[in-house]
Amino acid sequence: MEYAENILGTIGNTPLVKMNKLVEDLPCLVLAKYETFNPGNSTKDRMGLKMVEDAEADGRLKPGGTIIEGTSGNTGMGLALAAITKGYKLICVLADKQSKEKMDILRAVGAEVYVCPTNVEPDDPRSYYSTSKRLSEEIPNSWYVNQYDNPSNAQAHYESTGPEIWKQTDGKITHFVVGVGTGGTISGVGKYLKEQNPNIKIHGIDTYGSVFKKYHETGIFDENEIYSYVTEGIGEDILPKNVNFEIIDHFTKVTDKDAAIYTRRLAKEEGMFLGNSAGSAIKGLRQIHKEYGFTKDDVVVVLFHDHGSRYVGKFFNDDWMLEKGYINEDGSYPEEDK
């Protein structure tokens, strides 16, 4: 008989899927690392479990404890699977720009959810960063995860996602493309892949309103780059310790509109019902081709983080898309941003 001891045993070993329609004009082979096959439907299951297990091992997380984390939703789900299986309480703190579906899903798996305003500075006491820290100080026997600076985040991808991609491509991967938020995925995967072949290019997808691209290129943390944006799960107004800028070769920024359009196109043209950051990633991949030019010998792996079910009320809702100006009255798409 083949079975997992519990749901945590099903994390990882997600498939690579060839992309077709949305990249048919590109000369290279484009493969999607399809992370929604994880039990919590996102790549964050990997680091959620790793962070919990490492905290158990060194005593930061004790029996009967409460796990506290600021999350855009997916890390919360990964932590919830670990908390349920291992017997911990979970408090998730979200910014109010996150989809209602994400909040409802976290409550469905037993998490207590706090919602904080998006448009405040990171050090504002109302921010989801500050609220998470405050709760961890107030609640006895609690552990603040801090995925942004927790080294177990990147380590999870160094130990699992990177080796999987290397094996699945038979070592032929030439480019890795992924959206950057906490930095754990790009840094962990990138470190592993460059250890196997230092010529592999690591591309980060950023969004307008985030500091990553300019900081990578100039070393300047420019507060003028920071403003509110619609795209979920990527970009930051801080510099997480998990972002290893030395491993990343290049950043490209994708607009909210293009991210939204390509999220819908992935569903309708590739049968890939994915989250908003996937739209950013595939549009960003196309921008990278324009800038650098992939060749027929290139094998490009793009990682898709999470599932479309978390965005049904927004990016897959015609009224919401029309209100934002991301689709025309007849349902067609406006011209792509340059």
Residues involved in catalysis: 44
User: How many CB atoms within 10 Å of residue 138?
Assistant: 9
Please report where in the chains the tokens 């009255």 appear, as a residue. Answer: 329
Q: How far apart are CA 316 and CA 328, in angstroms?
A: 14
**H or E element at residue 161:** none
Burial code (b: 16+ CB inside 10 Å, e: under 16) for 209-228 equals bbbbbbbbeeeeeeeebbee
Tokens, residue 338:
């340059």
As a whole number of angstroms, the distance between CA 270 and CA 64 comes to: 44
**In whole angstroms, what is the distance from residue 196 CA to residue 171 CA?**
8
Outline where DSSP puts E strands in the chain: 16-18, 29-34, 66-70, 89-95, 112-116, 142-144, 175-179, 201-207, 250-254, 299-304
- Cα 51 to Cα 40, 190, 331: the distances in Å are 16, 19, 43
CA angle 52, 210, 49 (to 5 degrees): 10
Q: Are strands 66-70 and 89-95 parallel, antiparallel or unpaired?
A: parallel
In the chain, how long is the greatest CA-to-CA distance?
Answer: 58
Q: Residue 293: left if φ>0, alpha if ψ -120 to 50, beta else—which one?
A: left
Q: DSSP letter string over 201-230?
A: EEEEEEETT-SHHHHHHHS---GGG----S
Residue whose C-alpha is closest to residue 256's, from 285, 277, 287, 282:
277
Q: How far apart are CA 230 and CA 239, in angstroms?
A: 19
